[in-house]
Copies of this chain bind each other. A is one copy, B any other.
Amino acid sequence: MLREWRLNLKLNLKRRPGGAPVYVQIAHGLVAEIRRGRLIAGEVLPGSREMAEELGVNRKTVVVAYDELIAQGWLTSRGTKGTFVSAKLPEPKARPARLALDGPRSRGEGPQFSRLAPPMDVPVLFPRPGLLSLDDGTPDTRLFPAESFARAYRSAMTIAGKVGKLGYGDPRGSPNLRGAISRMLNVDRGLATTPDRVCLTRGSQMAIYLVSRIMIRNGDGVVVDDLTYPPAREAFRAAGANILRVHVDDDGTDMDSLEKTCRRHRVRLVYLTPHHHFPTTVLLNPDRRLRLLGLASQFGFTIVEDDYDHEFHFQHQPLLPLASFDPSVLYIGSMSKLLSPSLRLGYISAPEKFIERAAQEICLIDRQGDPVTEDAVAELVESGEVRRHANRVLKIYAARREKLAVMLRAELDDAVDFRLPDGGLAFWLTFATSSHLDRLEQNAPKNGLQFLPSGSFAGKEDGRRGIRVGFAGLDDAGIRDAVRRMKAAIGP
């Protein structure tokens, strides 16, 4: 009669016909039997011919399995004497539950993984089948000039291949794109930057992350608005910042509130979205802009200006960034709204000392970005294609902004409060009563709607709540559909 382990091996092999290659299955099966203590140290194994017949496989498969286990230390070969189970095995009790052979259901989660830090509060939204997403202000990627981009990509790849630029390069990013972006910032946004003061990042989020790693030491005060961009706040928190909140109202960040905070705490960074405040869309007013620069000077904090959707302003020409008037401002921008989030292209313009440290930090995080994508975008910036694209979509987005306003007024006038945003790609909705909002959130899933939780912008229990509704990604029908689903969720 066959020993138990041989029977097991045979049965397991038959049970998993669609799994790993047969030699791997045999190897894993033998290890499982060794680990369970049914095959013991020093035991001789059947010859490969006998084993092959027994398992109904090619003899060579058994030889490969034995060889693999010899190379891995589980078996040893003593020449003509045969193949033996290794004399020095790990303790037989060794984590049987973690065996690869037990298959996908066993997740192999050792005790190490139970002490992982608790989950963070970084809400993210992405399309899920059957759900209409009210995004927080992303562009309509159907309008993305995919043809031109694919052409530019192909040409950048050909060139890069020829000049050996498909390997590792400058951690700050492609010189072409750093040049193109620094020119764009100087000409369109009044900065006085240079390619050496620009660092490319994987989306604006990575620029925020770099700021958090480079500028913050444990316990440093970082000011954010009481309604703000959650991934920025959480990145600062994760870096050990003491998060200080200041009030934001219809004129942007309240400077009295900021000054009071500066008098009470050592403030290292002030993170703002002065152009189109996230999430409320308001513009930081003139007096406050000036006062902010004064406070920065007086209290020695650094301003982080996140200008994530600079281009999309509907009332007048976009305002020059604060960084145009003070080059110590850490200025963050993105191609995500202008072109597409999928390109993962953001940037930071900052003093050279910061950029040098950023390059080192990037070497630890991800080494560099994709030079082909970067060069392709540089080509579209330099050729004027990006600017033409911006002009084209601005008109489309302006119409969608109108449409959403009209629909909200027509369908949800009693429940919803909003201000037509001067710029940016989203509305900020507040609600007549908290029960309106509660009903909307509760009933959203069954009405096929998803959006960021209303409490995530304040990020604390008693904070202000609201919903951010991006309009750029929705066409007329989409806007109608979204508003009607909201209405249905809120109910009578």
A111 interfacial contact with B, CB 8 Å: yes
Partner of A353, one of B109, B162, B192, B205: B109
Q: Which listed residue, B93, B103, B170, B344, touches A369 by the CB 8 Å rule?
A: B344
A71 to B285 CA separation, bound complex (whole angstroms): 7
Interface range, A side:
35 or more
Chain A residues numbered 38-90 whose CB sits less than 8 Å from any CB in chain B? 64, 68, 70-74, 76, 86, 88-90
Determine whether the beta carbon of B90 is less than 8 Å from that of A327. no
* A94 cross-chain contacts in B, Cβ below 8 A: 293-294, 297
Contact between A190 and B28, CB atoms less than 8 A apart: yes
Contact with B along A160-199 (1 / 0, CB 8 A): 1110111111110000000000000011001111100100
In residues 97-142 of chain A, which contact B (Cβ within 8 Å)? Answer: 98-104, 106-114, 116-117, 119-120, 122, 124-127, 135, 138, 141-142
- A109–B351 touching, CB < 8 Å: yes
B-chain residues with CB within 8 Å of residue A324 when the two chains form the complex:
24, 28, 100
Contact B88 A290 (CB under 8 A): yes
A263 to chain B, nearest CB (A): 16
A404 to chain B, nearest CB (A): 18
- Interface assignment of A14: CB less than 8 Å from any CB of chain B: no
Q: Is the CB of B117 within 8 A of A357?
A: yes
Chain A residues with a Cβ under 8 A of chain B:
19-21, 24, 27-28, 31, 64, 68, 70-74, 76, 86, 88-91, 93-95, 98-104, 106-114, 116-117, 119-120, 122, 124-127, 135, 138, 141-142, 144, 146, 149-150, 153-154, 157-158, 160-162, 164-171, 186-187, 190-194, 197, 201-203, 205-206, 209, 214-215, 231, 234-235, 238, 268, 285-291, 293-294, 297-298, 300-302, 317, 319-320, 324-328, 340-344, 351-354, 356-357, 360, 363-373, 473
Question: Can you spell out 13 A-B residue pairs with CB atoms less than 8 angstroms apart?
Answer: A27-B320, A28-B325, A72-B289, A95-B297, A98-B326, A103-B192, A110-B328, A119-B356, A144-B166, A167-B473, A202-B366, A206-B366, A231-B363
